[in-house]
Amino acid sequence: MTTLSTMPSLTKGQNGPLPTSQIVVTVDLATAADVSALLVTDRGVVRSDNDFVFYNQPTGPGVSLQQSPSGPARLHISTNQIPAEIDAVRAVITLDDTNSTFGRFAPPVARLTDAGGRELYDYTVTGLTSESVVIALEIYRRNLDWKVRAVGQGYAGGFADLVRDHGVSVDEEPTPVPVQAAPAYSPPVTPPPAPTPRPAPTPPPRAPEISLSKDRPVSLTKGQKVTLRKEGGVKLTNIRMGLGWDPVTRRFGRSSAIDLDASVLMFSGGRCVDTVYYGHLTSDDRSIMHSGDNLTGAGEGDDEVINVALQSVSPSVDALMFIVTSYRGQTFEEIDNAFCRLVDNTTSAELARYTLKGGMPFTAVAMAVISREGGEWKLRAIGDGFNAKTPKKALPHVGRYL
């Protein structure tokens, strides 16, 4: 687990505990930029304009932005003053020049300190290219405690794309040009009609298909389809699917042992012909290998890993279904920070990630399916829950996703 004494620097996706309720976020960057914050609910959306903290609105519930004439702005966060319905505070960096991109400069460094200036963590936001806005860090609840996560999610469409992703409608320009932000961190172009919670935007019935890039990972939404090719058109051959989660801390600091299991169901013509899971670690054609069972979810990073050699999958197999089941029967309401991610094994670059937020009253979830289409493998995110404790009991539920 991450500790202050051994791991002050975070890498993308890594999290760590916060030992104090009073924290400060600053940013080092080689060009002019603004720091701001979004306060979001457990659905990842803002409740109203009051949940934007930026240079024209420097205070929000539990968060304040302090400008400094001699240095970068300081984002002060008091976790003990954040409203109960707020699940996370996201620290955002926006370039002053909205026509510029982070790829032109050295990577920004986000620093987290306590109120006295003692450094807690830093995070160098690497991998940015055409983005002008990036979510650097996220301060989020984990039961009664608060933690920090290195996010590094950039937006090439600027401020408009950022606020859309957090449940705010933005009017499009009348001409077909990319939407650009107004001066950095002005209020949303079309503010909500009233400060009431709004649902996240409903995705279209068929999400757009995108290709994977090792330099710009994608965050998958339900139904989104991804072509398994590297940037430049080279087909991916060796990939791995990682599953991670955190155990839930109960009263008096005791943790509930949660045993999630990653499995792959191999289909041919709609019939399951092989299953790779904790009890059968290698597929019959030896194209898929499971890392073994993790019984608790303790530790950082992937808790279970499934390696897939796509070029070695039997020609008769036309679909691979990736599922997660809860062996001891806890539902996803009791599980923190569950995620599934796709990694290029050749370069170790993360290509795509699907985050499963807690709160689903199910013991299993169909995460994604990889299927052969026109001679290529394509991945489709699913993210639907159902009740099953083992891969065998999951089989009757997953056929509709093929």
Q: 154: which strand partners?
A: 134
CATH code, 247: 2.60.60.30
**pLDDT tops 80 at residue 186:** no
39, 96: one domain: yes
Distance between first and last Cα of the chain: 37
User: Does one domain contain both 155 and 93?
Assistant: yes
Q: Across residues 236-265, what is the average pLDDT?
A: 69
More confident residue, 83 or 229: 83
Split at pLDDT 50, 70, 90, the class of 272 is very high
Look at residue 69 in the predicted model and tell me its pLDDT.
62
Residue 195 lies in a domain: no
pLDDT category of residue 31 using cuts at 50, 70 and 90: confident
Looking at residue 385, its pLDDT comes to: 83
pLDDT, tens digit, 9 for 90 and up, residues 371-384: 888 778 887 877 77
Least confident of 80-84, 141-145, 236-240, 394-398: 236-240
Instruction: Name which of 154, 153, 152, 148 is nearest 300 in CA terms.
Output: 148
At 110, which amino acid appears? A
Among residues 131, 164, 197, which one ends one of the domains? 164
Per the prediction, the chain carries an average pLDDT of 77
Domain contains 3: no
Q: Do 124 and 221 sit in the same domain of this protein?
A: no
Answer yes or no: do 148 and 234 share one domain.
no
**Are residues 364 and 388 in contact, defined by beta-carbon separation less than 8 angstroms?**
yes
Nearest alpha-carbon partner for 10 in 113, 151, 218: 151
- Shared-domain flag, residues 257 and 335: yes
Return the minimum-mean-pLDDT range out of 192-196, 219-223, 289-293. 192-196
Output 337 or 93, whichever has higher pLDDT.
93
Q: Quick one: 25 and 110 in the same domain?
A: yes
In this structure, the answer to whether residues 252 and 337 fall within a common structural domain is yes
The pLDDT of residue 166: 81
Of the two residues 203 and 370, the one the predictor is more confident about is 370
Which domain-ending residue is among 100, 130, 164? 164
**Triad 54, 55, 56: Cα angle to 5°:** 95
What is the pLDDT averaged over residues 230-238? 68
Domain count, the chain: 2
Q: How many CA atoms lie within 13 A of 375 on its CB side?
A: 1
Do 214 and 94 lie in one domain? The reply is no
Same domain for 156 and 215, yes or no, is no
- Asked if residue 4 is part of any domain, the answer here is no
Q: Write the CA distances from 130 to 156, 311, 331, integer angstroms.
A: 6, 32, 39
**In Å, what is the CA distance from 327 to each residue of 76, 239, 263, 360?**
41, 25, 12, 16
Do 271 and 217 share a structural domain?
yes
Mean pLDDT: which of 67-81, 292-306, 308-322 is highest?
Answer: 308-322
* 158 and 224, same domain (yes or no): no
Question: Who's near 158: CB < 8 A, 6+ residues apart?
Answer: 94, 98, 132, 133, 178, 179, 180, 181
Residue 169 lies in a domain: no
Whether residue 312 is contained in a domain is answered as yes
Domain assignment of residue 135, given as a range: 9-164
Residue 62 has pLDDT above 70, yes or no: yes
Flag whether 173 is in a domain: no
Same domain, 140 and 276: no
Task: Reply yes or no on whether the pLDDT at 199 is more than 70.
Answer: no
